[in-house]
Amino acid sequence: MTSSRRRPLRRLAGLLFIVILAGGAFALWVRRTVTVPVEHDSDQIVTIDQGAGTQSIVDRLSEAGIVSHPLSLKIYLRITGKGGNLKAGDYKFPS
């Protein structure tokens, strides 16, 4: 191969490396923000209404101060497919 043919391949390999690195950093950020507990002053009771969708549940948890990064939780629930497993009810989050 001539050096003129290698140059595009090196650029492509470099771009692919950057995309993989950025994807890994993004996945790490999502995982970290979803698994780190949020501290609050007192016990919180959050009511999730029957028929509430993932978006409204995450918004409700964010409003109550249970979730600090609602976007990362929405992404996590979408990627893992666990959004459909959320259930209605009263949930207590200890301080």
pLDDT at 95: 76
Choose the CATH number for 3-93 among 3.30.1490, 3.55.50, 1.20.1740, 3.40.1710: 3.30.1490
52-79, pLDDT tens digit by residue? 999 999 999 999 999 999 999 999 999 9
16-59, pLDDT tens digit by residue? 999 999 999 999 999 899 888 888 788 899 999 999 999 999 99
Whole-number Å distance between alpha carbons of 27 and 23: 6
Total-model pTM: 0.71
Give me the residue spans of the domains in the chain. 3-93
Residues 82-91 have a mean pLDDT of: 94
Whole-number Å distance between alpha carbons of 44 and 93: 5
Residues 76-94 have a mean pLDDT of: 93
Question: Which residues lie closer than 8 Å to 50 by C-beta, 6 or more apart?
Answer: 88
SS3 track for 32-55:
HHHHCCCCCCCCEEEEECCCCCHH
